[in-house]
Chain A
Amino acid sequence: MIVTKVERKVCEGKPVIEAKNLTKKFGKQLVFQDVNFKINDGEFISLVGPNGSGKTTLVKIIMGMEKRTSGELLMDKKQTVGYVPQFRNIDLDYPLDIESFVRLNLKFTISPKKRREDSEQIKQILEKTRLTHLQKRPLGLASGGEKQKAYLAQALLNDPKVLILDESTASLDVEVKMQLMDLVQELNEKYKLTVIFITHDYDLTKKYTHRALFFENNTIKPISVDEISEDMFE
């Protein structure tokens, strides 16, 4: 695929996530050691590197699902993080429609006012993710791209400041991949959403992201888009 060079937005705003000498080990096995990086507010950054290099582990540390071994990971505790995981077990028989699936991430409330606000929020998210006309379709019968949009909509529900996409485009064909990424780009630009994109896709990284964190040999190196090369994805 030919990738046209695009003007990059440089985000030098306040860092939303900052790692200082961050180290992670599983038992004696080192994942990464003494890494330092910043992810700035409103950035669209990709995490690239071979399988097993620690991309998902870093995301789990950010999400609070995994503990760091040493060092610091600074981020505002109040800031919510939306996560779109890589695998979901949604089969053909899955009963919920897209709207009900997105709704699962709502908090419980008995207040009628809050319920109205929730419904309004669902409506807006479905509009943002172009799912309004599909909201009554059972998720099991939705296409791969529609499913990914529904996962995205669910993750956006609590108005996160940071959105993490874990190989969300992996199983999609090229056209659908582009549509999904265009949508994520729009969310990033219009709503200043910080996007962290774990990917093995060279073309998408080049086309959409502002810069990357490259995972290799137990280190994490911040690199610019121009430094991203195809051999990093092998």
Chain B
Amino acid sequence: MFGYEFMREAFIASTFIAITAGLVGVFVVSRNMSFLSHTLSEIGFAGASFGILVGISPLAGMIIFTMVSSVAVGSLSTESSRREASISAISSLFIGLGILFLSLSSESSSYATNILFGSIVGISAKEVHQLMILALVVIVIFIIFYKPLAFDSFDHIGARSAGLPTRFLSIAFLVTLALSVSIGAQIVGSLLVFILLTLPGATAKYLVHSVPKLIMVSVGLSLAGVWLGLYLAFVTNWPVTFFISAFEVIAYFLGLTYKNWKLNH
């Protein structure tokens, strides 16, 4: 399968995306932001359509939209119940906007399909480089802020009591989440990017109990999902997104079953 250049490109891009999503996912889950990451992917769809409409790249449109909205959500309110209501309102508006931008632009509907469902095998070398750089930016931010971010994500009240700048950390995290949504959407599509951003992290939670192990298992599951997905898509010619989502969902339920079994034994 590596005899084909497009498969090599797809493989490199998806490896970087999986590492980023697996890493960020652990913190998405511990900060209870699964819902927000879902919404951000819908906002990303609107951003990509906007990019097409005004003639910039869909990735750039996506980054602009997700960054602005995640920082806005982060600074609007810290109370989660109020945040959830406002997030779902914003989310509906952005799906509508995405459809509007696409219909206003002269692009064919295949573009919309690519944005929504992913198009990893059609990725160019230049796009792979862009994704690699963005993924590295996210990883570097995580390395720099790892300790305080882990403290704030796994024990917000304790971190605040210890005098950590929790508001700054929250916004820094939202920025990396926005970037991760934008790069992840390139492979699985904006509709399903939240799968990579939440399920491996949520599965890891049932299996291991320290922050470094959670990251390792989450990244591992994320990598296994995209690699297996790419291979099976190559063999069967079915969409890669289907295999990735099927793998991550099965892993999640196996994890949940294991945890329940362990509780009873």
Contact = CB atoms under 8 A, between A and B. Distances in A.
B155 interface: yes
A26 interface: no
A96 B209 contact: yes
A104 B209 contact: no
A55 to B, nearest CB: 15
B34 to A, nearest CB: 13
A38 B154 CA distance: 36
B147 A106 contact: yes
Nearest to B143: A108
Nearest to B205: A95
Contacts of B161: 63, 65, 83, 85, 155
B151 A65 contact: no
Contact of B210 (A100, A106, A107): A100
A155 B162 CA distance: 8
A108 B205 CA distance: 23
Interface string B119-158: 0000000000000000000000000001110110011111
Given A63-B163, A96-B211, A85 B205 contact: no
B102 interface: no
B214 interface: yes
Nearest to A137: B209
Contacts of A88: 155, 157-158
Range of interface residues on chain B?
A: 20 to 34
A89 B160 CA distance: 13
B114 interface: no
A105 B151 CA distance: 7
B162 to A, nearest CB: 6
Interface in A78-99: 83, 85, 87-89, 93, 95-97, 99
B100 to A, nearest CB: 39
Given A85-B157, A85-B158, A95-B214, A136 B205 contact: no
A138 B209 contact: yes
A101 B162 CA distance: 14
Contact of B158 (A93, A106, A151): A151
Interface string A123-144: 0000000000000101001000
A112 interface: no
B170 interface: no
A138 B148 CA distance: 21
A79 B230 CA distance: 56
A123 to B, nearest CB: 15
Looking at A64, A87, A96, the one whose CB has the most chain B CB atoms below 10 A away is: A96
Nearest to B151: A104
A95 B155 contact: no
B30 interface: yes
Given A89-B156, A89-B157, A104-B151, A97 B163 contact: no
B145 to A, nearest CB: 9
A23 interface: no
Contacts of A64: 163
A148 interface: no
A108 B155 contact: no
A194 interface: no
Contacts of A103: 210
Contacts of B162: 83, 105
B158 A108 contact: no
A104 B154 contact: yes
Contact of B154 (A83, A96, A106): A96
B209 A136 contact: yes
Interface string B19-51: 000000000001000000000000000000000
Interface in B149-186: 150-151, 154-163
Contacts of A169: none
Contacts of A87: 157
A154 interface: yes
Contacts of B158: 85, 88, 104-105, 151, 154
B210 A97 contact: yes
Contacts of A108: 146-148
Contact of A104 (B150, B204, B208, B214): B150
- Across chains A and B, which 3 residue pairs bring their CB atoms closest together, nearest first? A108-B147, A97-B209, A100-B210
Given A65-B160, A95-B205, 6 more contacts: A95-B30, A96-B209, A96-B210, A100-B210, A107-B147, A154-B155
Interface of A: 63-65, 83, 85, 87-89, 93, 95-97, 99-101, 103-108, 136, 138, 141, 151, 154-155
10 contacts: A63-B163, A85-B158, A88-B157, A89-B157, A95-B154, A96-B209, A97-B209, A101-B155, A104-B155, A154-B158
